Amino acid sequence: MPVGAVIEFSSITKTFGSVTAVDRLSFTVEPGRVTGFLGPNGAGKTTTLRMLLGLVAPTSGTATIGGIRYRDLPRPLQTVGAALEAASFHPGRTARNHLAVYATAAGLPAARIDAVLHTVGLGAHGSQRVGGYSLGMRQRLGLAFTLLGDPGVLVLDEPINGLDPEGIKWIRGFLRSMADEGRTVLVSSHLLSEVQQSVDDVIIIAGGALVHRGTLSSLETEAAPRILVDSPDRPALAAALGRAGIEFSVGRTGLLAAAPDAALIGHIAFSAGVELSALHRERKGLEDAFLALVNETGTGTGNSSTERGESR
């Protein structure tokens, strides 16, 4: 079983001319967990991942896998599997031959080719030229390349783009199982909702700089500090909350209580003998928090305004 390694970015910076695409970014990615690498389009996610993989040279700072730069890895494909956004295939080559080229370069047995094609569900299409593949099939072939060396570290750039609902469900389960096996899984996305079901940790960047790092649940608490609670007898509920010293406002679907968790509100209502008809964290939560995080840093810094301008 391949073992995961810690990915570490240390003050990594990339400037293209006068534009700072990635600005002194530092964070680590732990094995055994799925880490979401989030940010709007143009935030510098792809550049950061390409620096990790030795494809783009950082202006300063370092990115390492298990303490080693990608270019110095003795067996790169067996250590790190990467699927990058751009479809990198020669259209005239079959999927099997595409993989065979890189299996040869990495010294991997030919048996791995059919094994990974089978894993990603392309077993029946291996002899087809890639030029005739759909976007979803290309994404799967990209994943097959990722798995070729059975690596302990997976780096996936926007893997959900272009997948059909069945494919999305499949990849979520796939990411989970990879992390459960102890591998390091780093997945980028510009949509939190796309990955929130499968990630444990989140790294959020905007304008090339880190704006949030932590577990998904910590983001949730930060994002939506209010609990929505409702009762058939609203005045009684309001009175009970008032007695307990909980601030609240009246919303369209109930009372919005400024409390850290729903259990406390439930307890108050129970003690006061008030029947509840709703009790949950305010729903707008996560995505809004994400947008708030990436927007507040974007305006004013100016260093990446051109970049994000294009992507909008």
Partner 1 sequence: MTSFSRAIGAEFAKLGTTRMWWVLAAVMFGYIALLAGGLAALFAGIESGVISPDAAGTGSQGLAGFGSLPPLIYSFASSVGYVFPVLLGALSTTGEFRHQTLTPTFLANPRRAQVLGAKTVTLFVVGAFFGVVALLASVGVGALVINAFDVDPLLADSATWALFGRTVLAMAVWSTIGVGLGVLVPSQVASIVIVLAFTQFVEPLLRFASLFTEVTQGIGNYLPGAASDALVGASFFTLAAPGGSPAAMLEWWQGGLVLLAYAVAATVIGNAVSWKRDVT
Q: 92 or 300: whose CB is closer to partner 1?
A: 92
- Number of shown-chain residues binding partner 1 (CB under 8 A): 35
In the region spanning residues 236 to 295, those forming contacts with partner 1, defined by CB under 8 A, are none
Question: Of the ranges 78-86, 196-204, 233-241, 290-298, which one interacts with partner 1 (CB under 8 A)?
Answer: 78-86
Kindly state whether residue 178 participates in binding partner 1, applying the rule CB under 8 A: no
In the region spanning residues 38 to 57, those forming contacts with partner 1, defined by CB under 8 A, are 46-47, 50, 53-57
Kindly state whether residue 77 participates in binding partner 1, applying the rule CB under 8 A: yes
Q: Is 29 exposed, middle or buried (0-12, 13-18, 19+ CB in 10 A)?
A: buried
Task: Check: CB of residue 24 under 8 Å from CB of residue 211.
Answer: no
Run of H or E including 309: helix 305-311
Minimum distance, C-beta of residue 100 to partner 1, in the bound complex (Å)? 6
Q: Which of 41, 61, 89, 230 binds partner 1 (CB under 8 A)?
A: 89
C-alpha span between 235 and 104 (Å, rounded): 73
Q: 97 or 305: whose CB is closer to partner 1?
A: 97
How does DSSP assign 228-243, residue by residue? EEE-SSHHHHHHHHHH
- Residue tagged 């649940």 (tokens): 217
Q: Please report the beta strands in 4-163, taking only residues with DSSP state E, as ranges in sequence order.
A: 7-16, 19-29, 34-38, 60-65, 80-83, 153-157
Question: Of the ranges 102-110, 186-194, 197-205, 261-269, which one interacts with partner 1 (CB under 8 A)?
Answer: 102-110
C-alpha span between 247 and 241 (Å, rounded): 7
Minimum distance, C-beta of residue 14 to partner 1, in the bound complex (Å)? 9
Given the rule CB under 8 A, which residues bind partner 1?
46-47, 50, 53-57, 70-71, 73, 76-77, 80, 82, 84, 86-94, 97-98, 100-102, 104-107, 145
